[in-house]
Amino acid sequence: MAKELKLFCFGFGQVAQYFVKSLVSQKCEFDFVTTTTSKTSFNKKIFGKNYKSLFFEGNDYDPDILNELSNSNNVLVSIPPVSDEDLVLKNFTDEFKNNKFDWITYLSSTSVYGDKNGEWVDENSETLPTSSKGKARLRSEKLWMNLYKQYQMPIRIFRLAGIYSLEHNVINKLKNNTARIIDKKNQFFSRIHTDDIALALVKSIERPSSGEVYNICDDYPCSNEEVTVYAANLLKVPIPQKIKLDTIENEMSKSFYKDSKRVKNTKMKENLKVKLKYPTYKEGLSNICSHLS
């Protein structure tokens, strides 16, 4: 990256943090600003980098966001829709229209594909989300793509599969006795480690491609049962008992398990030249286990 990167992160959850961590590890020259739902802070530090964290919640925000956006050349949007609204576009569409950016990435979800009965999907597959979350994500995607089409903004969309990380994973759930196996035939999920999402984001800056959609997932979709059994064997703990889907009380969890699909990552690997650090859950979970005391 020859040009100094000035990054603005709408939201600063685990994906954005891993992205910043990846940039630091690659010794990139960059500054960054984030948003937070708590009060503004000008003296934050992470991974050895100082940064500003500016208040933004609902329709209220620190007006300094406008100045920082105008001084940024790269924007990562990881804030999900709230009450079916894309709050970033609701509040800052004019700033996107009026400022020149090199790179804008909106993080969406593979939930936009809906239930495919275990069949494979790629970026050209029909989007028929079944969950309210998936429907809201798809509406946001369309709004971002309309901006690209109308104003030729350098926007791309990353559809993220089920995210796991060193901090959030099935191993921790097993240790906390919260892991469960859903008894459902022909159940397939795709996954992605946060390290590999960060890698894909860095690669997309190096290979800008406006108006594109990318599935971000590993090479091996499979059932949650397979992953949970593997993790239990790694830990040498009992395998959780199976439970029926209709016994799940949380509607969001229930809708998640209703969908079954296998997501292709060919475009990500060919266009962005991503070489996955964890091509399957086995490499990812084994690495997580190696960090346990």
Type of residue found at 157: I
Going by C-alpha positions, the residue among 165, 155, 164, 178 that lies closest to residue 76 is: 155
- In this prediction the pTM is 0.96
The residues, ordered by sequence, that sit 6+ positions from 49 with a Cβ below 8 Å of its Cβ are 20, 24, 32
Average pLDDT over residues 82-90: 95
pLDDT value at 172 more than 80: yes
Per cent of the chain over pLDDT 90 is 86
pLDDT of residue 219: 98
How far, rounded to the nearest angstrom, does the alpha carbon of residue 155 sit from its chain's CA centroid?
Answer: 16
Average pLDDT over residues 169-185: 92
How far, rounded to the nearest angstrom, does the alpha carbon of residue 13 sit from its chain's CA centroid?
Answer: 9
pLDDT value at 264 more than 90: yes
The 10s digit of each residue's pLDDT in 29-61 is 999 999 999 999 999 999 999 999 999 999 999
The 10s digit of each residue's pLDDT in 269-291 is 999 999 999 999 999 999 999 98
User: Residue 103 is encoded by which pair of tokens?
Assistant: 């790179």
Distances (CA, A) of 230 to 60, 93, 139, 224: 45, 45, 36, 10
DSSP 128-157: ---SHHHHHHHHHHHHHHHHHHHH---EEE
Q: Which residues pair with 10 in a beta bridge?
A: 77
pLDDT value at 145 more than 80: yes
User: Residue 165 is encoded by which pair of tokens?
Assistant: 């990380």
The 10s digit of each residue's pLDDT in 201-258 is 999 999 888 999 999 999 999 999 999 999 999 999 999 999 888 887 777 777 778 8
pLDDT value at 263 more than 80: yes
Other C-beta atoms lying within 10 Å of the C-beta of residue 83: 7
53 and 64 Cβ atoms separated by less than 8 Å: no
Each residue of 235-253: b (16+ CB within 10 Å) or e? eeeeebeeeeeeebeeeee
pLDDT of residue 258: 81
Strands 155-160 and 212-216: parallel
The 10s digit of each residue's pLDDT in 92-102 is 999 999 889 99
33 and 68 Cβ atoms separated by less than 8 Å: yes
30 phi, psi to nearest 5 deg: -160, 155
Average pLDDT over residues 3-20: 95
Q: Which DSSP helix (H) or strand (E) runs through 163? A: strand 162-164
The total number of residues shown for the chain amounts to 293
Tell me the pLDDT band of 293, cut-offs 50, 70 and 90.
low
Each residue of 18-44: b (16+ CB within 10 Å) or e? bbbbbbeeeeeebbbbbbbeeebeeee
